[in-house]
A and B are shown apart, each in its own frame.
Chain A
């Protein structure tokens, strides 16, 4: 039944998406890839325009939604490149800046943390970030105490606020004008990936797990509370949308290594966020086959798992069916090179097998590729509409959520560089209402502290 107003459409889409994640009945399989890259370039935009020009980005998606109104979410968590320029972030090559405008953002992996620096990290992760990691990874931060570095920090803080504003504005317009919800809001990394991605790099971390295993485990434990607090600082305040976690290095590990190094701190982080009232959308990069059963240990229906192209969606359904919702299954190569008939047959098969009893979202291998042929995307949607309907009489509605901040006893308190008690002492006492001063002080301290952690992505 077509929605006759925007609010109803928003509620239908969000309700459908939330029901699938929660393994509850809904009207049809949601069309909810986590990263719809096609939507950004379908109008003819370059990738440079998407990351540098928020208006162009939104315009592109408007064109996409006009032609594909059946989609239930677009992508979120897009890079706002001026923030990366402001601090000279070296970990990414950007389209239009270092790469051709039509190319996509690519990660530059280097050892920004040395093999012998684990103790220093574990002892005080925030201080390590400030003293060691940021000056190495952010080019504009390289001369401590200089005017240029001071200005870069200022610009970085301001650009962070601008980026937040860009994302909020876009989400509001998509919701209020087009009835379009978000696939996720906010993001975090598994503690192991905090160390492995931007700090040690794949080669470094893989040597460390053989040569200094205990230090890696301790560092992961130390990173857990930092990254959990970071995630909570940028999650959806209304808790409608999952928090996103792209997992990167688990795919390279044996089950024993995964169990020892990756899983304990990752599980703990996810449990903290779930206890705080959130669901999670986990991009399981590569083939997670040997590790998938672990996700059954997490609360049911709270972790939406994106199965990547090298993974096996049928096996994932076997293992996670009834435990967690899964997304994926449409082959990237089919979308890019195949024919509409081929896509239709594949999607029909997915709907009739992995999608059969719910808990399934149609998607490519974690994303819809930039080079997807529009007629193939159309074929994917049409096949879901034809074969992916469960019960058209169900009118999906969003879940009622407690938006109050929930205290999680397992989570260490948010760290701050200058906690209020120290500041208060410096002030020598407060004459009026202390809370009026303390609240904003701690809010800004928290934001500044969490700002540091975004650079591990």
Chain B
């Protein structure tokens, strides 16, 4: 299994597919295979944090994982791969239709075992509130690329407060135009410097 984690870490696409096929044929437990893949994804995240990998490598690792999961999903037969208790609601705020950053964050979080509810782009505040209420998530991630979204991020934070959900959920903002000043303006709990940082914040929140 270590070989599988390492080949995903090293982005050896063909080798990952071959190994997974071999393990499946050997009837190894699917959840163990998935654990090894997740380990590989965590290693990719670490390389990213060390500036060895860049976003291109994060994206390719996610692509390989997606390809493998297509084969593994039918074998799961209802077994949960993600911890249903670790829910994260995420979306790009209203007015902004960019999804690259959000998608990368989503993939990495799923790779770390979070159950991510992705609301898409151009998401109105009420949809965030509804999703947090419905899922009981402890983390809400707001993504944006454009700097005119600061007031909209604040609007979502206020809506969460007004709905009485502040005690339940922590709000993380992320994306190119956000920083500590923007976090304070919005009243969000955290600002993520990048997708890997976002995953680490989620881990901290869920303990």
- Chain A residues within 8 Å of B, Cβ to Cβ: 93, 99-100, 103-104, 106, 108, 202-203, 206-207, 209-211, 251-254, 257, 286, 290, 308-310, 331-334, 336-338, 369-371
Contacts and interface: CB of A to CB of B under 8 A. Distances in A.
A206 B59 contact: yes
| Residue among A100, A209, A333, A334 with most chain B CB within 10 A | A333
A254 B56 contact: yes
Given A309-B176, A309-B177, A203 B56 contact: no
Contacts of B147: 332-333, 336, 369, 371
B123 interface: no
Interface string B27-52: 00000000000000000000000010
B84 interface: no
Interface string B54-76: 11110110010000000000000
A166 B115 CA distance: 52
Contacts of A108: 97
A108 B121 CA distance: 12
B206 interface: no
Contacts of B96: 106
Nearest to A261: B56
Contacts of A93: 97
A257 B54 contact: yes
Contact of A210 (B13, B53, B146): B13
B182 interface: yes
Interface of B: 11, 13, 51, 53-57, 59-60, 63, 95-98, 100, 146-148, 150-151, 176-179, 181-182, 185
Given A206-B55, A332-B177, 14 more contacts: A103-B95, A106-B97, A203-B59, A206-B56, A206-B60, A207-B63, A254-B54, A286-B176, A309-B177, A336-B150, A337-B181, A369-B148, A371-B150, A371-B151
Contacts of B178: 333
Contact of B181 (A207, A290, A334): A334
Contacts, number: 77
A446 to B, nearest CB: 35
A254 B57 CA distance: 8
Nearest to B145: A106
B187 to A, nearest CB: 12
A66 B149 CA distance: 29
Contacts of A100: 95
20 contacts: A106-B96, A106-B98, A106-B146, A206-B55, A206-B56, A207-B63, A252-B54, A253-B55, A257-B56, A331-B179, A333-B179, A333-B181, A333-B182, A336-B150, A337-B181, A337-B185, A338-B181, A369-B147, A369-B148, A371-B147
A310 B55 CA distance: 14
Nearest to B182: A333
A99 B146 CA distance: 14
Contacts of A202: 59, 100
Contacts of B146: 104, 106
Nearest to B184: A337
A64 B56 CA distance: 41
A41 B96 CA distance: 19
A272 B37 CA distance: 47
A407 B155 CA distance: 56
A103 B97 CA distance: 11
A338 B98 CA distance: 25
A251 B179 CA distance: 19
Given A332-B177, A338-B181, A252 B56 contact: yes
A59 B54 CA distance: 44
Contacts of B54: 252-254, 257, 290
Q: Which 4 A-B pairs have the closest CB atoms?
A: A252-B55, A254-B54, A206-B59, A333-B181
A331 B39 CA distance: 38
Contact of B53 (A203, A251, A254, A286): A254
Nearest to B121: A106
Contacts of B185: 333, 337
Contacts of B57: 254
B54 to A, nearest CB: 4
Contacts of A209: 56
B148 A370 contact: yes
Chain B CB count within 10 A is highest, among A99, A203, A334, for A203
Given A106-B97, A203-B59, A337 B148 contact: no
A108 B99 CA distance: 10
A337 B176 contact: no
A206 B98 CA distance: 17
A177 B97 CA distance: 39
Contacts of B11: 210
A127 B54 CA distance: 34
Contacts of B53: 254
Nearest to B63: A207
Contacts of B179: 331, 333
B148 A253 contact: no
B133 to A, nearest CB: 27
Contacts of B51: 290
A331 B185 CA distance: 15
A337 B97 CA distance: 22
A99 B148 CA distance: 14
A290 B179 CA distance: 21
A211 B150 CA distance: 38
Nearest to B122: A99
B177 A207 contact: no
